[in-house]
């Protein structure tokens, strides 16, 4: 007998906010995040016969949403490709490092005081805002790697990114995210 059962009539009241949060951490625009949550419920209803009850209905809904989000990244393939090209160009005009590849005067990290390094709700919003300032490709790669814990091989395959591009992208995303936090929270 199945361990779990579906209660679709309760989904919106019970799970919609949780799913919206999950989507908004991964997708910049609220409207798109809302649409993806809606698509998740619709997909779940249409495929409910395939549910075997081996995982909880919440986890099942999250799996569907995760797959919808990945599809959204893939649909943006053209944008991703043009931004990959921009990222390559960006490498040549680097603000963080000088011509010898060492930290530039303005790009070097400043010391952060421990009293600012708190995980408050306000900080979480600043962190998410800073993440949202990354371009689409950096945001997608960064989210998959550091929030979803996917490995580089899977990310490169799904987003059609070369391994060398990937490491540079992630590193640049970290540089930008750290700089944004320093400017908007730590000072």
Partner 1 sequence: MICCKEAGILGEKMGEKKLSTMETFKLMYHMVWCKNCRRFKKQIDWINRTLKQIDLDEKFTQEEKGDLKEKVNPEMG
Binding site for partner 1 (CB under 8 A): 8-9, 11-13, 16-17, 20-21, 24-25, 30, 34, 37-38, 41-42, 45-46, 94, 96-97, 100-103, 108-109, 111-112, 117, 119, 121, 123-125, 127-128, 131, 146-147, 149, 151-152, 167-168, 170-171, 174-175, 177-178, 181
Of 34 and 133, CB closest to partner 1: 34
Cα 62 vs. chain centroid, distance in angstroms? 15
Of 14 and 77, CB closest to partner 1: 14
Of 32 and 168, CB closest to partner 1: 168
* CA dihedral (144, 149, 154, 156) positive or negative: positive
Q: How far is the CB of 51 from partner 1 (least distance, A)?
A: 14
8 A C-beta contact, residue 19 and residue 61: yes
Selection from 183, 3, 32 nearest residue 109 by Cα:
183
């Amino acid at each position: 007998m199945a361990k779990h059962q579906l209660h679709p009539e309760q989904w919106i009241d019970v799970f919609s906010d949780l799913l919206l949060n999950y989507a908004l951490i991964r997708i910049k625009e609220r409207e798109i995040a809302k649409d993806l949550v809606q698509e998740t419920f619709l997909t779940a209803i249409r495929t409910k016969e395939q549910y075997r009850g081996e995982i909880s209905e919440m986890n099942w809904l999250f799996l569907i949403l995760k797959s919808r989000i990945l599809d959204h990244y893939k649909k943006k393939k053209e944008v991703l490709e043009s931004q990959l090209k921009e990222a390559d160009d960006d490498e040549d005009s680097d603000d963080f490092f000088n011509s010898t590849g060492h930290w530039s005067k303005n790009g070097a990290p400043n010391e952060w005081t421990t009293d600012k390094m708190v995980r408050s709700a306000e900080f979480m919003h600043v962190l998410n805002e800073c993440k949202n300032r990354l371009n689409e490709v950096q945001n997608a790669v960064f989210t998959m790697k550091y929030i979803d814990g996917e490995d580089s091989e899977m990310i490169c395959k799904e987003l059609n990114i070369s391994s060398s591009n990937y490491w540079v992208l992630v590193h640049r995303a970290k540089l930008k995210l750290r700089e944004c936090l320093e400017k908007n929270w730590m000072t």
